[in-house]
Amino acid sequence: MTEAHPHDVSEAQTITIKKAAFCLGVTRSTIYAWMKAGRLQTVKAGCRRLIVVRSVRILATELHRLPELHRLIEQIRPWYSADTIEGLRQIVAATEARLSAA
């Protein structure tokens, strides 16, 4: 029988707040803020609050796609109007603000 790495979430359905913070590279305070904002699904297990792994994966995907969006906007800039590019930048900036505020 092999032991899982302490931060391995591949088979778990829920993880602790500390583990979620480690996986997402943020503080526990940020995790609590995202929980309050509804960005992370949680379940109660006795007196403990656990985070649903699927919601961590979804949030991680959103967080890691933002730099890709910035690069994509720069790549398509020659083919689109300045107004379109500015609109896209505003959408990405609003998304970043929403994720960092939550």
pLDDT at 66: 77
pTM of the model: 0.60
Angle among Cα 40, 41, 42 to the nearest 5 degrees reads: 115
> Cα separation of 5 and 9, whole Å?
9
Alpha helices by DSSP H, 1-102: 17-24, 28-37, 53-76, 82-101
pLDDT at 28: 93
Q: Mean pLDDT for the chain? A: 80
- Give the domain ranges of the chain: 14-101
More confidently predicted of 11 and 62: 62
Render pLDDT for 19-43 as a digit per residue (tens, 0 to 9): 998 888 888 998 998 899 888 999 9
